[in-house]
């Protein structure tokens, strides 16, 4: 492979060319080559004519927004490569419909055709690297352009690829106490400075504002549900305190700061069942809850110290997709039920019709506006910078617009967020729990429920971490499974002794955090379908820290929060649930059941696996999803974590009924290389 860094350094670099036509770009490049004495002035017109003729003959686009115009002329002419980054992408009739943002213009004499073919192949391989394209787009100087190519060439020479989402190295069993934690710390420590500097960007600001509402709404909602499930012992106040405190600590000390901690449906169910058990046994709930939490914290920290997260390597895309689908559906169903509840309450005369109608408009308005603005990146209108801004700020702007819309009707008072009037516990109890006042048998009897809670925390945390660290997200700084699990264990222990809810990695909020920080390109697959592709994520600690700091500050403004209509946040809830299913192949394959067979997308699995096998595999996953949902809402909900764990042997059992090559395609951890480079 040609050394592109050296070739580009010796050639011509034009950044943010303001030309709108290819002909103008070619003219600028040739004039610059003559000015730098890379092309003799006597050959200027001939080179320009050859470049124009080649462009008129056929498109020189190779996909990924890249075109390679080239010209070969007789004469004393050395090989020249000019790199051009266009300020306004130009339509070059590319096979993937991507307008050209980058141009590599090759100039040489007729005897250098073979060398230029080698150069073209090197450029095609390099430009398919998402991280390189991102670096080229972000570079502000010519030297940074050369450095971007140099980093790529170094990675090629050392055999290092951008595979932070793969788990082979990070989930190797060390066999030493705290071995995995030590490796996690060593892996993340070199990135500590960049974890701070990478957060100083406009995209981080949009993520902070969006995630503030995205985390505040579930905290208040789950706090309200927790209040009902625990007889008023734990409510919204405790949930907000736990969300703020645990979120700040996790953002500062976790191995993967993109993970957002929060209350989850499974933990809510478990806590409710524990409360009912305490009622039957006539024992103090908060004292029992504290002992169960302390044992859970000890077991969780022990799992982190003994590299138990290595077992997560037995979980595959099969289990990830089912778990992610379940959590997304919980969000969607909860949001829809709340929104439909406005209509039902109006029919039952429990809610004024104008209040119900305004609430419905605000909820659906938030959802629809957020969806429309988030897709504005693909629009043909306005300039790219404004489209990117509207897309990033879309969810936040949707909430703000609906809040302003509600102010147009001052006499209509929709239901506001249910937060306490003043800072304090929900029941008025002291924050600290006198755990030693519990009967001694409770101290040790709590071990049984703690084992089940530990399994739930372990699965919730690690499966969400797998989803966040997915290869599709192109993360570069590595993960921290063992360290994160240990930090979560310590936080659960701290929360338990002051009666706060236990928090773990929240799937939907974490995935929305990643997408909020992602630079996304609109890709047209070889089959003609459009899909979003993440090319870079700004991995940092600033966004998570600031989001939870703002939630903590909100505890000082509870009266202001009481004026925020909950309907707008339910619309945001629905948006988060819908967006989090993007990229989940389970939903994509389920859609094939009702799709015209002639219009099936051309993906790696539809090309390699018989359609009947695809439908059978999807049916198996959907059946597992239905079973999990039934268990979640049944009297056996306390066994929910065990059923999640059973997905692993279920996947192993599937290998007896599906061919190995078919399972490899359907259950692939990442997009096969041949699909990513099929345009080239």
| Total number of domains in the chain | 2
- Is 509 part of a structural domain of the chain? yes
Q: Are residues 445 and 497 in the same domain?
A: yes
Place of tokens 């929910």: 640
Q: Are residues 308 and 381 in the same domain?
A: yes
Among 100, 126, 158, where does a domain finish? 158
Segment 309-327, tens digit of pLDDT: 888 888 888 888 888 888 8
Spell out a b/e string for 573-594, using b for 16 or more CB atoms within 10 Å of the CB, else e: bbbbbbbbbebbbbebbbebee
Q: Are residues 322 and 255 in the same domain?
A: yes
418: left (phi > 0), else alpha (psi -120 to 50), else beta?
beta
- Is 172 part of a structural domain of the chain? no
Catalytic site positions = 70
Residues of the chain with pLDDT under 50: 160-168, 673-680
CA distances from 342 to 255, 350, 369, 439 (A): 42, 9, 20, 45
pLDDT at 251: 94
- Is 169 part of a structural domain of the chain? no
Torsion angle in degrees (nearest 10) through CA of 318, 319, 324, 329:
90
Among 158, 188, 217, where does a domain finish? 158
> Which CATH number characterizes residue 98's domain?
3.40.930.10
pLDDT at 267: 85
pLDDT at 221: 79
- Is 163 part of a structural domain of the chain? no
List Cβ neighbours of 484 (8 Å cut-off, separation of 6 or more): 184, 250, 254, 255, 256, 259, 304, 461, 465, 505
Give this prediction's pTM: 0.79
Tokens describing residue 174: 């060390």
Segment 68-118, tens digit of pLDDT: 888 888 777 778 888 888 888 888 777 767 788 888 888 877 766 667 677
Q: Are residues 149 and 237 in the same domain?
A: no
pLDDT at 254: 92
Q: Are residues 408 and 313 in the same domain?
A: yes
Distance CA 3, CA 672 (A): 26
Q: Are residues 529 and 594 in the same domain?
A: yes
Among 90, 124, 158, where does a domain finish? 158
Place of tokens 């009666």: 499
- Is 170 part of a structural domain of the chain? no
Q: Are residues 339 and 461 in the same domain?
A: yes
Q: Are residues 344 and 386 in the same domain?
A: yes
Domain of residue 573 covers 179-676
CA distances from 122 to 5, 117, 154, 521 (A): 11, 9, 14, 22
pLDDT at 114: 66
Q: Are residues 106 and 197 in the same domain?
A: no
pLDDT at 167: 40
pLDDT at 488: 95
């Amino acid at each position: 492979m040609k050394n592109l860094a050296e070739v580009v350094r010796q050639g011509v670099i034009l950044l943010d060319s303001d030309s709108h036509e290819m002909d103008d770009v070619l003219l600028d490049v040739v004039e610059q080559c003559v000015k730098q004495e890379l092309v003799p002035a006597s050959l200027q017109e001939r080179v320009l004519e050859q470049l124009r003729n080649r462009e008129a003959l056929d498109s020189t686009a190779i996909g990924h927004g890249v075109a390679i115009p080239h010209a070969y002329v007789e004469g004393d002419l050395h090989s020249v490569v000019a790199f051009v980054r266009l300020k306004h992408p130009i339509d070059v009739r590319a096979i993937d419909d991507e307008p050209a943002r980058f141009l590599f213009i090759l100039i040489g004499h007729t005897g250098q055709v073979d060398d230029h073919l080698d150069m073209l192949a090197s450029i095609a391989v390099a430009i398919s690297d998402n991280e390189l394209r991102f670096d080229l787009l972000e570079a502000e100087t010519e030297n940074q352009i050369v450095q971007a190519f140099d980093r790529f060439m170094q990675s090629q020479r050392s055999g290092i690829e951008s595979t932070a989402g793969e788990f082979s190295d990070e989930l190797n069993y060390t066999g030493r106490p705290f071995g995995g934690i030590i490796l996690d710390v060593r892996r993340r420590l070199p990135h500590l400075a960049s974890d701070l500097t990478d957060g100083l960007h406009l995209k981080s600001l949009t993520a902070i504002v969006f995630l503030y509402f995205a985390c505040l709404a579930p905290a208040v909602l789950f706090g309200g549900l927790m209040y009902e499930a625990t007889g008023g012992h734990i409510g919204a106040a405790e949930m907000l305190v736990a969300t703020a405190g645990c979120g700040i600590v996790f953002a500062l000390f976790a191995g993967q700061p993109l993970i957002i901690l929060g209350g989850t449906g499974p933990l809510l169910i478990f806590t409710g069942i524990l409360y009912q058990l305490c009622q039957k046994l006539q024992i103090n709930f908060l004292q029992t809850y504290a002992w169960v939490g302390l044992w859970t914290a000890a077991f969780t920290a022990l799992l982190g110290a003994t590299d138990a997260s290595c077992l997560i390597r037995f979980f595959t895309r099969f289990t990830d997709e089912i778990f992610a689908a379940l959590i997304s559906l919980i969000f969607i169903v909860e949001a829809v039920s709340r929104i439909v509840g406005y209509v039902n309450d109006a029919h039952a005369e429990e809610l004024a019709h104008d209040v119900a109608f305004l609430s419905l408009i605000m909820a659906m308005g938030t959802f629809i506006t957020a969806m429309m603005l988030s897709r504005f990146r693909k629009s043909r209108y306005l300039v790219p910078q404004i489209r990117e801004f509207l897309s990033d700020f879309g969810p936040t702007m949707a909430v703000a617009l609906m809040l302003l819309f509600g102010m147009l009707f001052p006499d209509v008072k929709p239901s506001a967020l249910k937060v306490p009037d003043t800072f304090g516990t929900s029941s008025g109890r002291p924050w600290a729990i006198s755990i030693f006042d519990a009967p001694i048998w409770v101290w040790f009897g709590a071990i049984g429920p703690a084992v089940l809670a530990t399994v739930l925390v372990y699965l919730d945390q690690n499966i969400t971490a797998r989803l966040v660290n997915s290869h599709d997200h192109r993360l570069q700084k590595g993960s921290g499974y063992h360290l994160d699990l240990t930090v979560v264990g310590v936080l659960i222990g701290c929360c338990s002794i002051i009666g706060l809810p236990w928090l773990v990695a929240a799937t939907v909020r974490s995935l929305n955090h990643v997408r909020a920080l992602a630079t996304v390109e609109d890709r047209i697959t070889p089959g003609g379908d459009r899909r979003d592709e993440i090319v870079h994520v700004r991995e940092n600690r600033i966004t998570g820290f600031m989001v939870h700091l703002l939630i903590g500050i909100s505890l000082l403004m509870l009266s202001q929060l009481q004026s925020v209509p909950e309907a707008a946040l339910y619309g945001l809830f629905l948006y988060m649930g819908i967006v989090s299913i993007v990229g989940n192949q389970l939903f994509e394959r389920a859609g094939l059941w009702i799709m015209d067979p002639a219009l099936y997308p051309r993906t790696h699995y539809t090309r390699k696996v018989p359609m009947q096998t695809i439908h059978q595999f999807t049916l198996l996953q959907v059946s597992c999803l239905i079973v999990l949902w039934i268990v979640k809402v049944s009297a056996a909900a306390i066994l929910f974590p065990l059923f999640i764990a059973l997905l692993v042997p279920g996947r192993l059992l599937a290998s007896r009924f599906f061919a190995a090559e078919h399972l490899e395609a359907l259950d692939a951890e990442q997009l096969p290389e041949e699909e990513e480079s099929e345009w080239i």
